Amino acid sequence: MSLRFALLALLRVGPLSGYDLQKQFSESVGHVWHAPDSQIYPELRKMEAEGLVAAEEQPRGERATRRVYHVTDAGDRAFTDWMRTPLAYSRVRDPAHLRAAYLETTTPAAARAFLSAHIAQWQGEIARWEAELSRIDAVENPMLARRIAVTAPQDRDRTIAFKRFAYEGLVERARGEVSWGRRGLHLMDTLVADDGSWAR
Amino acid sequence: MSLRFALLALLRVGPLSGYDLQKQFSESVGHVWHAPDSQIYPELRKMEAEGLVAAEEQPRGERATRRVYHVTDAGDRAFTDWMRTPLAYSRVRDPAHLRAAYLETTTPAAARAFLSAHIAQWQGEIARWEAELSRIDAVENPMLARRIAVTAPQDRDRTIAFKRFAYEGLVERARGEVSWGRRGLHLMDTLVADDGSWAR
DNA sequence: TAGGACATGTAACCTGTTACATGATTTA
DNA sequence: TAAATCATGTAACAGGTTACATGTCCTA
């Protein structure tokens, strides 16, 4: 549902081929909304069929062509309409918290392994998002640079401020996950120390 | 993928019919892993076909029957194996942060509406989870009470400790979302105050 | 001339959502 | 006898994952 809006957000900055889009995607919006290329190409075709984007076929060498997509008026309207529409929040479905609720059913070693992996997972995400934050500050991210280039000077700060805001939110959430995992490890220490019986 | 393990977690406490399971589900594991009944019934049939659960058909009145499911040895093994298996973390796909990254493309009113809705959404979740935490402390939740009843006394603290741990994690995350949303509203104030031009 | 980047997909499958569909039993 | 609750699903579709599939062009 959101994929097409992520794609529109990128294309609104300027036309891109499916291939370029997919590459830019993975190092910009992809940090917030992951999508593999096998999903991007068909989605672009669907959006084309619905008139949200239009493709211009460009010859590439002798035989090959590439399809360069741009946003149509209808696509632009779809994007701005979506931005005004309340978000549909999906119901919680969280494998990590599901498992956490039943850690007493496994061995202390498995419980600790789960918690350590959770911490490592989110530390990895923090590293990625913080790197992205530095790139935002330095306007090093190519998509952001292009976006800033086509943005009126008085609007640039806002553009950057919201990118920062979004990524800071992700980093904070990830930090929360890490500290939750650490609390879990402490909990393990107290539970195992209090009661030597827990080992299966 | 996780649905069957959520179901097994409940059934390990004792046999339940699909209907009872579905009711208990929504007020226990369902807080962590939502699933509608239209998903639960077919999943139980699939699990039965795979030998993870077995059903006993009980007559109900003159004509009707109900199928009461219990966990088989294979099902128990599947659950404990899953508890030992590293979790597969799925890639980030977060509509709220996606939208947040592009708030400069909409009106200040729409941006504020989005942030307020985000805050309200997570405050609602906090209320639900905190209520559940009180029920956990009072051992009022029927599934937890049954679970405690079949748990050896020295293991009860652990069982409760991990339920608390899981729900506390959810509450903390939700608090993070609320404070992120509030920061967003403050950001709006500074951006709109600094620059009267932002209104479309 | 070989390898890496460019370029674009299809197919099968799983998970989840939404809407629809039906009927029996119990209780007020 | 009507309403609530018990009881169990099916069907169609949307969205996402994984694996597979194919070929061109540029550059060292």
pLDDT of residue A15: 95
Q: Which tokens in the block code for residue B110?
A: 């729409």
Helices (H), ranges, chain B: 3-11, 18-26, 37-49, 73-84, 95-100, 108-137, 142-149, 153-194
Q: How far apart are alpha carbons B137 and A42 in whole angstroms?
A: 50
Average pLDDT over residues B52-66: 88
Q: For A48-89, what is each residue's pLDDT tens digit?
A: 999 999 999 998 887 888 999 999 999 999 999 999 999 999
Q: Are A148 and A139 in contact (CB under 8 A)?
A: yes
Q: Which tokens in the block code for residue A16?
A: 């891109």
Tell me: pLDDT of B200 over 70: no
| Burial class of B6 by CB neighbour count within 10 A (0 to 12, 13 to 18, 19+) | buried
Tell me: pLDDT of A200 over 60: no
Tell me: pLDDT of A119 over 70: yes
Contacts of B10 in chain A (CB under 8 A): none
Q: Which of residues 48-107 of A touch B (CB under 8 A)?
A: 79-80, 83-84, 86-89, 91-107
Q: For A121-136, what is each residue's pLDDT tens digit?
A: 999 999 999 999 999 9
Inter-chain residue contact A6 with B104, CB threshold 8 Å: no
- Three-state SS string over B156-191 comes to HHHHHHHHHHHHHHHHHHHHHHHHHHHHHHHHHHHH
Q: Which bases of chain D are contacted by protein, using any atom under 7 A from a CB?
A: 6-11, 14-20, 23-26
Q: CB count, 10 Å around CB of B147? A: 23
**Within window 87-126 on B, which residues have Cβ closer than 7 Å to strand D?**
88, 90-91, 93
Q: Are A129 and B78 in contact (CB under 8 A)?
A: no
All residues at 6 or more sequence positions from B196 whose CB lies less than 8 Å from its CB, including other chains: none
Q: What is the DSSP letter of B139?
A: T
pLDDT of residue A193: 75
Residue of higher predicted confidence among B193 and B99: B99
Task: Look over chain A and give the mean of its residue pLDDT values, rounded to a whole number.
Answer: 93
All residues at 6 or more sequence positions from A119 whose CB lies less than 8 Å from its CB, including other chains: A177, A178, A181, A182, A185
pLDDT of residue A199: 67
Q: Are A83 and A12 in contact (CB under 8 A)?
A: no
pLDDT of residue A195: 65
Q: For B145-182, what is each residue's pLDDT tens digit?
A: 999 999 988 889 999 999 999 999 999 999 999 999 99
Q: Which of residues 100-159 of A touch B (CB under 8 A)?
A: 100-107, 110, 113-114, 117-118, 121, 125, 154-155, 157-159
Inter-chain residue contact A101 with B166, CB threshold 8 Å: yes
